[in-house]
Structures are given as C-alpha cells and as structure tokens.
Structure 1
C-alpha cells in the first residue's frame, strides 16, 4: 500500500514538472543563482578585520551598517538579517531583468509566480537566458527592454548580502538603496508590484534624506548633493510620466483599421519628441547622472520603447499619493504611517 501511494505521488510530481516545465526550469535557475551568491559571501566582521581590504571600502560597509540600524530603529522597518555579509561581484553584473509591453498600448507583459504573485518583469542570473527570453518576446511582437539590476530583495525569506557594487555609490544613493530593499522585507503586497515599488521608492528617498540630515547635517555636501539629485529626478520622472500620458492618448486614437506603418510613424515621432524635450529639464547636480534618456542617439533603434515607459509607471506613478497621504493624514510621523500601511495592506 505504501509503495502504491509513493508511486502515485511520484507520478503526480512528474506530471506537475512536465506540465509546468518552464516555471520549474526558471525556479531552478533562480535557486542556483541565489545559492551560488550565498555560498560565496563573507561575513562583514571578517571583511572588516582583514588588513588587506581597502579602508575606503571598509568605511562604506560600516556606513551600510549605520543605515540599516537607522532604518530599523528610527524608521521602524522590520528586523532583518540582511546586509551582514558581502558578495564580491568581481566587477561583473549579477542580475538582468527583462520587461515587455504591447507595441501600441502601455500594457506590460505579466509573469505569475507561486507565493509572491504577479510581476511585470522577469529576472535572470544568467545573461544568455535573459537574452533568449527577450528574443522570444520580440518574436511575439512586443516592445522589450533588458537591464542590469543593482540590487534586489528576497523579501525576508533569505538574508540578502551586501553586493560589492554597492560600495561604489555615494552616501545618499547608498542609503536610498538599502532602505528601499529593507522596505520590501517589511511590507510586500501580493500581486501589487506597482504599489510595492512606489512605496519602497518613497520610503527609500524619505529615509535617505533623514539619515543624511542626522549623520552629516542639512548643510553638508552629502545631503545637498543627494537633494539636488532627488530634485532633478523628480523633474525627470514627471517629464517621463507626462510622456506616458501623451503616448496613451495617442494609442487610444488607433483603430483596428489603422495601418501598422502609420501607427509606427506616429509612435516613434511622439517618443522622439519626448526625448528631445527632456533637454529642457534643469539639472543643478554637481555630477551629472547617466540615467536620463536625453543622452541617447535619436535614431529609431536607440529610442526608448513602451517597455521603458512601463518601468516608470511601475516605480514612480504613485509617488505623490504616498507623499500627500504621509503629510496630510500623519503629519510627517513616519512610524505611525508605517503602522497604518501594515494594517491596511497586509504583507504575505
């Protein structure tokens, strides 16, 4: 009887693997990538005790420890075992993300995963797998984008390490990154990627400003540089979000009878104008960033497509919502606001 039950269970398992082979294969690839990283990390204490490790990088690691303590103690984010170890990337990218969108609609391709829910992007630890996924999406006629990822969160399931690339960031950017990822480990609502990313962006930026003000002072170079960067990107974000509204209005005018050549012409003409007009954004930063599309060539093949604009909708569309709610309903009391969010939007 036991053997029969075992054979039935094995048969069911094999059937599930065959039925969901793509998901199983992807999950196995992701698991291997995570294990490889975790297996090759070093404890922060060992790195700080190593006399051969550069002092300048040790200071950045110690800064990360300060940022984490601030996020837990002053902001009230959940306790976490993350950022207590470090992984040396040896100057190489570690993760690639593929996004895709309809060619004449600002509608993202969705991927569904057990437990964590629906995402409008798919991550890969292997570049060739990311390239293959992008090529297949292109064959489906979708706009696609592939980009390197500087960090990610395992949402509290694992203890995320410090990546060596973190140590190249200035103080403000580093604080925003760490607090952003710790926010994911504190509150992550299933099937609500846009909400989750917008919230983590809001908390990351708010927390970074508070941390810099506390550690360096509001007249310090780290604070002023980060604030100038934040102001620039807020203007840039608004420009791109306005562009998404223009594109959406254009796409709504397309009819089933509209020829593809006409749709393509109007689409790329509109996107080109969005790119060109981004030159009007006032940039007061002492060091210019590279994220802006205004440095792109204006040839059609180099213009951003719908997948680029979808990314801004995912990460930045709800920023004003969080700011207004935080100020008007909670008077700038962040711990009260965080408690409200956790009670209103239960995390899994």
Structure 2
C-alpha cells in the first residue's frame, strides 16, 4: 500500500514537472541562485572584527543594524533576521529583472507563481536566462526592459543578506532601501504588485526621513541631502507619470485599422517629446539634469519604451494615495496607519 502511494505521488510529480516544466526550471534556477548567495555569505560580526576591513564600510554595516532596530521600535514593522550576514558581489550585478509591455498600450506582461501570485516582472540570477526571455518577448512584438536590481526581499521566507553594493549608497538612500525591503516582509498582498511596491516606496521614504531626523537632526547634511534628492526625483517621477498618461491617451485613439507604421511614428514622436522635455528637470543641489535616454555598454543610446513607463506605474503611481490616506485619515500617526493596513489587507 505504501509503495502504491509513493508511486502515485511520484507519477503526479513527474506529470506536474512535464506540464509546468518552464515554471519548474525557473524555480530551480531561482533556488540555485538564492542558495549560492546564502552559501557564500559571512556573518557581519566577522567583518566588524576584521581589522583589515575598512572602517567606512563597518560604519555602514552598523548603520543598517540601527535602521533595523528603528523599523521595529519606531515604525512597528515586523522583526526580521535579514541583514545579519554579508555577501560580496565583487563589483558585479547580482540579479536582473525583465519587464514587458504591449507595444501600443501600457499593459504589462505578467507571470504567475504559486503562493506569491501574479507579478509584472521576472527576476533572474543568470543574465543569459534573462536575455533568452527578452529575445522571446521581442519575437512576440512586446516592448522589453532589463534592469539590474540592487536589493530584493524574500518576504521573510529567508534571511536576506547585506549586499556589498548597498554600502556604496548615501545614508538616506541606504535607510530608504532597507526600510522598503523590510516593509515587504511585514505586509505583502498577493496579486497586487503595484500596491505592494507603492506602499514599500512610501514607507521607505517616510521611514528614512524619520530615521535621519532622529539620528542626525533636521538641519544635518544627511537629512538635507536626502530631502534635496527626494525633491529632484519626485519631480522626475511626476514627469514620467505625466508622460505615461500622455502615451495612454494616445494609444486609446488607435483603431484596429490604424497602420503599424502610423502607430510607431506617433508613439516614438510622443516618447521623444517626453524625453526632450525631461532635460528641463535639474537637481538644484548638484546641477544634475534628468536623462531618460540611457547609454548602453556599446555606446548606443537607448530610448525608454512602454516597459520603462510600466515600471514607473508599478512603483510610483499610488504615492499620493498613501500620503493622503496617512495624513488625512490617520493624522500622520504611522503606527495607527500600519495597524489599519495589516487588518485591511491580508498579507502572505
């Protein structure tokens, strides 16, 4: 009887493996990537006690521990075992994320994963696998974008390490990043990626400002530098979101009989207009100008496409909603607001 049960389970697993071979292959690849990183981490205590390790980086590691304590004690986020170990990237990217969109509509390509739900991106620890997917999506006439990721969250299922690239960030950026990722481990709603990322962005920025004010004071250089960065990128975000709305309005005028060359011409004229007008955005502190056109390694210029705008809609579209809800309904009481969110939106 036991043998029959075991054989039945084996047959079911084989059938599932054949039926969902792409998903199984992807899961295996992701699992290997995570395990490779976790296997090659070292406890932060080892680095902090190493006299040869630079003091400036030790200070950043200790700062991350302060930020973690702040998220629990002051923001009410869940305790986490993350960021107690360190992984050295040796200056190399660690993860690539692929997004895709319909060519004449701001509609994202989505992928569904067991337990976690639906996502509008797919991550890869192996660049060639990301490139293979991009080639396939392009054959399907989709707009694509591949981005390097500076951090990610396993939503509390694993203890995420500090990545060496994190230590290059200014204090405010580092605080925002850590708080963003720890927010995912506290509240992550299935099948609602836009909500999750917008919430984590909102909490990351709000929490970073509170942390900087507590540690350094509101007149300090770290606090003022972070405010200046927020102002610049806030204006940049608004510009890109306005561009997304402009594109969306254009695409809604297209008819099924509209020739492809006409659609392409109007699409790229509009995107070029969005790109050109971004040059008027300047960081008053550094004089840096916004640039939507990026240089590829080969030196060629890469214009943003629909996949680029989809990324902004995913991460930034609902910022005002959270801010207004937080201020108007909860009187800027973050602990009350977080309690409300936890009760209202069931998390994984």
**Distance in 1 separating the partners of 2:345 and 2:287:** 38
1:84 aligns with 2:63: no
Q: Deviations over 1:33-86 (max 9, x none)?
A: 000111111111111001111111001101111111111111010000000111
Q: Deviations over 1:234-273 (max 9, x none)?
A: 1111111011111001000000110000000000000000
**Distance in 2 separating the partners of 1:287 and 1:88:** 33
- 1:25-36 to 2 correspondences below 5 Å: 25-36=25-36
Q: 1:347 aligns to what?
A: 347
SS in 2 for 1:273: helix
Q: CA deviation at 1:125?
A: 0.2
Query: Cα RMSD over matched residues?
Result: 1.6
Q: 2:98 aligns to what?
A: 98
**Distance in 2 separating the partners of 1:123 and 1:332:** 35
Q: CA deviation at 1:218?
A: 0.8
**Distance in 1 separating the partners of 2:253 and 2:13:** 49
SS in 2 for 1:134: helix
Q: CA deviation at 1:295?
A: 6.2
Q: Deviations over 1:135-158 (max 9, x none)?
A: 100000000000100000000000
TM-score, length-scaled by structure 2:
0.97
**Distance in 1 separating the partners of 2:202 and 2:103:** 30
C-alpha change, 1:237 and 1:346, in structure 2 (3 Å) is same
**Distance in 2 separating the partners of 1:320 and 1:24:** 39
Q: CA deviation at 1:12?
A: 1.1
C-alpha change, 1:251 and 1:301, in structure 2 (3 Å) is farther
Q: 2:292 aligns to what?
A: 293
Q: Deviations over 1:114-147 (max 9, x none)?
A: 0000000000000000000111000000000001
Higher alpha-carbon deviation: 253-262 or 274-283: 274-283
SS in 2 for 1:280: coil
SS in 1 for 2:257: coil
Q: 2:169 aligns to what?
A: 169
- 1:1-348 to 2 correspondences below 5 Å: 1-286=1-286, 288=288, 292-293=291-292, 302-348=302-348
**Distance in 2 separating the partners of 1:66 and 1:160:** 16
Contact 1:119 1:193 in 2 (8 A): yes
Contact 1:102 1:108 in 2 (8 A): yes
Aligned residues: 346
**Distance in 1 separating the partners of 2:106 and 2:227:** 31
TM-score, length-scaled by structure 1:
0.97
Q: CA deviation at 1:10?
A: 1.0
Contact 1:47 1:53 in 2 (8 A): yes
Q: Deviations over 1:299-341 (max 9, x none)?
A: 9962100000000000000000000000001111111100000
**Distance in 1 separating the partners of 2:287 and 2:341:** 36
Runs (4 or more) in structure 1 with deviation over 6 Å come to none
**Distance in 1 separating the partners of 2:300 and 2:197:** 30
**Distance in 1 separating the partners of 2:4 and 2:62:** 58
**Distance in 2 separating the partners of 1:49 and 1:287:** 40
Consecutive unaligned residues of structure 1, counting only runs of 5 or more, are none
Higher alpha-carbon deviation: 183-192 or 275-284: 275-284
SS in 2 for 1:93: coil
Higher alpha-carbon deviation: 193-202 or 62-71: 62-71
**Distance in 2 separating the partners of 1:301 and 1:26:** 31
Contact 2:293 2:303 in 1 (8 A): no
C-alpha change, 1:143 and 1:301, in structure 2 (3 Å) is farther
Q: CA deviation at 1:5?
A: 2.1
C-alpha change, 1:294 and 1:136, in structure 2 (3 Å) is closer
